[in-house]
Amino acid sequence: MAMKLSPLAYQSQYYPSSIGGLPTSLNLRSPKFYMASTLRSASSKGVENLKKPFSPPREVHVQVTHSMPQQKIEIFKSLEDWAENHLLVHLKPVEKCWQPQDFLPDPTSEGFYEQVRELRERSKELPDDYFVVLVGDMITEEALPTYQTMLNTLDGTKDETGASPTSWAIWTRAWTAEENRHGDLLNKYLYLSGRVDMRQIEKTIQYLIGSGMDPRTENSPYLGFIYTSFQERATFVSHGNTARLAKEHGDIKLAQICGTIAADEKRHETAYTKIVEKLFEIDPDGTILAFADMMRKKIAMPAHLMYDGRDDNLFDHFSAVAQRLGVYTAKDYADILEFLVGRWNVDNITGLSGEGRKAQDYLCNLAPRFRRLEERAQGRAKQAPTIPFSWIFDRQVKL
């Protein structure tokens, strides 16, 4: 296991807001020294960094790498055929896939301007806080290069060449290609709506891709596929809820857009949870320990390093609005955990080591424990402030 340590002081830990994690005050993790730390924006880094030609707005300074024992790489090599027969079947042939253009005004048609006008009329019914959440979701999707990079950090499944013929690499590329439509479609919809500050949004995307992400998966496909299982379900929930709200506000077309994206996420969730199910079958102890490890560290959201050049707590603020609107909440986090525990039949696994049994206990009790703590936190919740979001021209939104 290699470990990079930095003398820099820790600042913000994983996000105190509800999305994707426990509030800071409810942190269930033991304070391990390898917890990742992030710096705040470049503007607050001080004079020293001004000398650098470029540095990301968010930097993660303590990271664990290659924690999976070398011999376990063989497990993934031996699963090549399994992946071909059980994983790749969850991809859709391109010819059968929807494309963003299917949901957008056709710029070659005579009715283009009229269709755009209708889209803008419908979007007028959507409130500002809804746009904050939809923009945050779109930015998360648009940072897709980072997620392909993340998959290609995993030892034993990474795409070694960029066009590798292994089933794992084929999956990664085709998954990315499917996901690429999500950001494209939401981006074009938001652009046409005329409701949002596209330049600020585009800056946020550029900052975010430049910062990357730190899912703390340590190059291990065990941790990596548990992370993606959780994430695909989280995005399924989130896009499903933006679809529901769009419908409630009378924008049926946007509801269809978000619902279609949610269906892709669901299919991806099915694929990733199947990989982890297979790992449980082959290596129950290693897999349960990996699952417990990811949950102790908490699942950081993919866009946790988000920054727009102005708001040092942009991700927290976006998350707070998503929580308030019920798009993605602390309850969803507990529900996803509980779903995965059930999906992988965690409470019925036998033949575990002592450590494995401890991990099993921890995992089976975590969702109820989390819910109890969350309820208590809700009871103590203070009146939420209202803050400006640059994505919507600094209009004020309640957190």
For residue 82, indicate whether it is catalytic. no
Residue 232 marked as a ligand binder: yes
Tell which residue, 195, 190, 275, has the closest CA to residue 232: 275
CB of 171 to Fe ion, least distance (A): 13
CB of 179 to Fe ion, least distance (A): 5
Catalytic residue among 159, 214, 251, 264: 264
Q: Which residue is nearest to Fe ion (CB)?
A: 182
Residue 268 marked as a ligand binder: yes
CB of 1 to Fe ion, least distance (A): 29
Residue 179 marked as a ligand binder: yes
Distance, in Å, from the CA atom of 126 to the CA atom of 106, rounded to the nearest integer, reads 23
Q: Which stretch binds Fe ion (CB under 5 A): 4-12, 78-86, 180-188, 208-216?
A: 180-188
Residue (99 or 345) nearer to Fe ion, CB: 99
**Which of 137, 179, 184, 308 contacts Fe ion by CB under 5 A?**
179
For residue 155, indicate whether it is catalytic. no
Binding to Fe ion (CB under 5 A) within 214-253 occurs at: 232, 235
CB of 104 to Fe ion, least distance (A): 17
Q: Which stretch binds Fe ion (CB under 5 A): 5-13, 35-43, 137-145, 348-356?
A: 137-145
- Which residue is listed with tokens 């024992």? 69
For residue 338, indicate whether it is catalytic. no
**Which of 158, 182, 216, 304 contacts Fe ion by CB under 5 A?**
182
- Angle, CA 167 vertex, CA 165 and CA 173 arms, to 5°: 75
Residue (75 or 177) nearer to Fe ion, CB: 177
Binding to Fe ion (CB under 5 A) within 264-283 occurs at: 265, 268
Binding residues for Fe ion, total number by CB under 5 A? 7
Residue 265 marked as a ligand binder: yes
For residue 86, indicate whether it is catalytic. no
For residue 121, indicate whether it is catalytic. no
Distance, in Å, from the CA atom of 193 to the CA atom of 122, rounded to the nearest integer, reads 9
Distance, in Å, from the CA atom of 42 to the CA atom of 262, rounded to the nearest integer, reads 34
Q: Distances in Å between the alpha carbon of 232 and those of 30, 42, 176, 235, 266? A: 26, 31, 13, 5, 7
CB of 230 to Fe ion, least distance (A): 11
For residue 285, indicate whether it is catalytic. no
Catalytic residue among 265, 308, 311, 332: 265
Residue (179 or 184) nearer to Fe ion, CB: 179
Residue (310 or 343) nearer to Fe ion, CB: 343
Distance, in Å, from the CA atom of 134 to the CA atom of 129, rounded to the nearest integer, reads 9
For residue 197, indicate whether it is catalytic. no
Residue (18 or 235) nearer to Fe ion, CB: 235
Catalytic residue among 184, 242, 268, 308: 268
For residue 265, indicate whether it is catalytic. yes
For residue 179, indicate whether it is catalytic. yes
**Helix axes of 252-282 and 284-297: crossing angle, nearest 10 degrees:** 140
Catalytic residue among 86, 90, 98, 149: 98
Distance, in Å, from the CA atom of 220 to the CA atom of 241, rounded to the nearest integer, reads 31
Asked if 339 and 249 touch (Cβ cutoff 8 Å), the reply is: no
Instruction: Give the residue numbers of the binding site for Fe cation.
Output: 141, 179, 182, 232, 265, 268
Catalytic residues, by residue number, are: 98, 141, 179, 182, 232, 235, 264-265, 268
For binding to Fe ion (CB under 5 A), which residues are involved? 141, 179, 182, 232, 235, 265, 268
Instruction: Give the residue numbers of the binding site.
Output: 141, 179, 182, 232, 265, 268
